[in-house]
Amino acid sequence: MNFSPLPSVDAASVPADALVLDVREDDEWAAGHVEGALHVPMSDFVARFGEVTDAVAERGRAYVMCRVGGRSAQVTQYLVQQGFDAVNVDGGMLAWDGAGRPMVTGNGSPAFVL
């Protein structure tokens, strides 16, 4: 079998207008997330797969993110196997925050990575 390396980028390289797919759970998302990101928890991913593929078809490459990069790597691998343009964001939201990239919350409280 031929396993190609998982496509990945560092958080600082994600374009400002990119389709960010956040696969963290609801409590993690509520604490802080990338503005405009598509939130599909990994636990809901299969049920909401059509929503994800529609977004990728409309907006192009998906930058998949979780807290540190483990769950997003699994989702990225699955999307790539299905023929979609997806890349894993190395280090996830911790790296995003560490790179000084902006985060928001739904209620206006200070954003943080849970």
Give the CA distances from residue 72 to residues 50, 75, 86, in Å, rounded to whole numbers and listed in that order: 17, 5, 10
Run of H or E residues at 58: helix 49-59
In one-letter notation, the amino acid at residue 27 is D
Note the pLDDT tens digit of each residue in 89-114. Answer: 999 999 999 999 999 998 999 999 99
Note the pLDDT tens digit of each residue in 42-94. Answer: 999 999 999 999 999 999 999 999 999 999 999 999 999 999 999 999 999 99
62: Cβ contacts below 8 Å, ≥ 6 apart = 19, 20, 21, 52, 55, 56, 76, 79, 84, 85, 86, 87
pLDDT at position 1 over 70: no
Instruction: Clarify whether 66 is annotated catalytic.
Output: yes
Q: What angle do CA 60, 84, 81 make, to 5 degrees?
A: 160
Q: Which of 56, 66, 89, 113 is catalytic?
A: 66
